[in-house]
């Protein structure tokens, strides 16, 4: 494993961006998508709005 050193300002910005993404609607939909796949649910294009 390799050690990476980041300036504190850059690290803090990365933490803020990660928190922002985790709270986004898109991220929540992706987690829901993963759960549905693990549960074996299958969807058609019509179900997904295509």
DSSP code string of the chain: -------HHHHHHHHHHHHHHHTSHHHHHHHHHHHHHHTT----TTTTT-
How far, in Å, CA of 43 to CA of 45, rounded? 7
Q: What is the pLDDT of residues 5-15, one digit of tens each?
A: 999 999 999 99
- C-beta separation of 43 from 36 below 8 A: yes
Q: What is the pLDDT of residues 20-38, one digit of tens each?
A: 999 999 898 888 888 888 8
Residues 6+ apart with CB under 8 A from 27: 21
Model pTM score = 0.55
């Amino acid at each position: 494993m390799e050690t990476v050193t980041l300036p504190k300002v850059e690290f803090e910005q990365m933490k803020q961006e990660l928190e922002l993404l985790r709270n986004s609607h898109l991220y929540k939909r992706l987690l829901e998508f993963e759960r549905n796949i693990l549960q074996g649910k299958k969807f058609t294009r019509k179900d997904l709005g295509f």
